[in-house]
Amino acid sequence: MASWRTLVEVMKALRKDANPNGVGKLIKEEVRIAIFALRYTNQFPRLPANFETSGQRDADMYDLLECVFGFQKDNVRNQRVNVVLTFVNAQSRLGKPIKRIDEKAMNEVFLKVLDSYIEWCRHLRISTLWNSFEALGRDRKLILVSLYFLIWGEAANFRFLTKYVCYILHHMARELDAMLDHGEAYPAASCRTERGSVSFLEQIVLPIYEPLDVMARELDAMLDHGEAYPAASCRTERGSVSFLEQIVLPIYEPLDVVS
């Protein structure tokens, strides 16, 4: 019951027109502080004039990530609430009054959410997105956690491919870093469609599913035929058959633009 009550409070708080004499008056301080932490600061580039925020509320870093990578609005709305609840829960366990998210709660959430990414970097012996954890700013921690939630929320079944999710996060965050130095936000090259729009679903997610769907159909045809033969989807220009070359490597191509 407490979780549902907190969820209602978060949803109300995210609406700028929440009735101050209604549920909005009862919103926990932890909720207000978590929402405030996600606010759009002057450290972020300006949103384009034609970008519209959903709902009657002030812009926050989720609007920036939606603008840059084209995440679906439902996913953005859901993950905004999920992240707020995650920080509220971490903060409430500390059991002390606050004026902003406690550093201990911030680090707890950050390290828990990005644990698989940190292990992935360690396994590959590559540097993480930060040179020093101690020097990592609060906004930087928040936006990396938010980006991970958005990728995970829209990834559907491939969210279980942890290494690929880590790869996506690593490259998209680097792309975001390059954009943050500009005065105005713009669509990421990795998610830009031929129509000029921006879509994480079309440019990152679907290229994973489409070749696997073709392979599944080929396998069904082989089973009906009763004989195994080289799959057309995995056949190279040299005439050989390679799952790595024809299926795996093309999946990574959209993000290679920021390598």
Q: How many domains does the chain have?
A: 2
Residues 21 and 54 placed together within one structural domain of the fold:
yes
User: Which one of 156, 186, 216 terminates a domain?
Assistant: 186
Task: Check pLDDT > 60 for residue 196.
Answer: yes
Q: State which residues form the domain around 202.
A: 197-259
Q: Does 26 reside within a domain?
A: yes
| pLDDT-based confidence at residue 242 (cuts at 50, 70, 90) | low
- Provide, rounded to the nearest whole percent, the portion of the chain with pLDDT above 70: 77
Which is it for the CA torsion 243, 233, 158, 52, positive or negative? positive
How far, in Å, CA of 243 to CA of 248, rounded? 7
Residues 171 and 247 placed together within one structural domain of the fold:
no
| Helices 115-124, 103-113: inter-axial angle, 10-degree rounding | 60
Q: Does 191 reside within a domain?
A: no
Which residue's entry shows tokens 């859901």? 78
| pLDDT-based confidence at residue 248 (cuts at 50, 70, 90) | low
How far, in Å, CA of 81 to CA of 111, rounded? 19
Residues 217 and 97 placed together within one structural domain of the fold:
no
Residues 222 and 127 placed together within one structural domain of the fold:
no
The average pLDDT across 31-56 equals: 86
pLDDT per residue as tens digits for the range 95-129? 776 788 899 999 999 999 999 999 999 998 999 99
Tell me which DSSP letter residue 58 carries: -
Q: Does 192 reside within a domain?
A: no
